[in-house]
Amino acid sequence: MKLRKVTAASATVFALALTATACGSGDDGDSGSSGDKKITVGIKFDQPGLGQKTPQGYEGFDVDVATYVAEKLGYSEDQIEWKESKSADRETMLQRGDVDFIAATYSITPKREEKVDFAGPYLLAHQDVLISADDDSIKKPEDLNGKNLCSVTGSTSAQNVNDKLGLKANLQNYPTYSACLGGLENGAIDALTTDDSILAGYAAQKQFEGKFKLAGFKMTNENYGIGVKKGSDLKAKINEALEAMVADGAWDQAVKDNFGPANYQNEPAPKIGDIKS
């Protein structure tokens, strides 16, 4: 990927400084060959634009961020072991040591911070809605009243629209975001709601280019962080890597590469420790 060609070179000096102390699943303190060294990273496998497993490998914004961070910690791309981290499993995976860190649309919340630590945030997302590109009837959140709004089964995003924002949308439960997009495409639903970054990732897929648009509603703040085990010294090292990614332009390039086709109006890179409530 374009980003990785850039970051592989830019990470070299910093990586050499951290190699001796970086934590990884294959680095147990012995002096074994560097080829045996591994770091295990949790990502989503099924979120286009963010974390997706494909026949060619792994791709998405979270993947690019995690790859950059791993390289700054002293691990080349082929020393990364990717592990699927479903939303309900993330805290347990970190607590058990199944992964060294997780970058998987992982919103920083007080409840989660009781169990794990977070580096970042590295992206500020917002709950938004995706609508047809030619739909001019939904210009503000109140326009969702009476509309068919897609809710992915088990998701709280659509429920938030009615419960937290006091709107009166007609919730339609679909099993997956892809199914919601199909309903949006054929007119069965009027809008799909979740984090704007996730919506942008789906809308940026080649088969959907030009068909959908983000409404631009900032209904909630979702501070994406990189999860690590409670008390891990990786937190400080990852924060340094994230700051470097922003400083050298790799963060902006990752946004463009993964969300560009959806015209995602992303927030600027957040400052480390700046959590928007």
Q: Which residue has the tokens 């890597």?
A: 241
Tokens of 167: 């709107």
Give dist(CA 146, CA 206) in Å, integer.
31
Q: Which pLDDT does position 59 carry in this prediction?
A: 97
Provide the whole-model pTM: 0.81
Q: Which pLDDT does position 2 carry in this prediction?
A: 42
Q: Which pLDDT does position 6 carry in this prediction?
A: 42
| 28-60 per-position pLDDT tens digit | 333 334 558 999 999 999 999 999 999 999 999
Domains of the chain: 2-123+224-262 (3.40.190.10), 127-214 (3.40.190.10)
Residue type, 123: L
| 164-180 per-position pLDDT tens digit | 889 999 999 898 888 99
Q: Which pLDDT does position 35 carry in this prediction?
A: 59
Phi then psi for residue 28, to 5 deg, are -105, 15
| Range in 72-76, 80-84, 100-104, 152-156 the model is least confident about | 152-156
> Is pLDDT above 70 for 138?
yes
Q: Which pLDDT does position 163 carry in this prediction?
A: 87
Give dist(CA 230, CA 243) in Å, integer.
21
Mean pLDDT of 122-134: 96
> Is pLDDT above 80 for 264?
yes
Mean pLDDT of 237-248: 98
> Which has the higher per-residue pLDDT, 26 or 115?
115
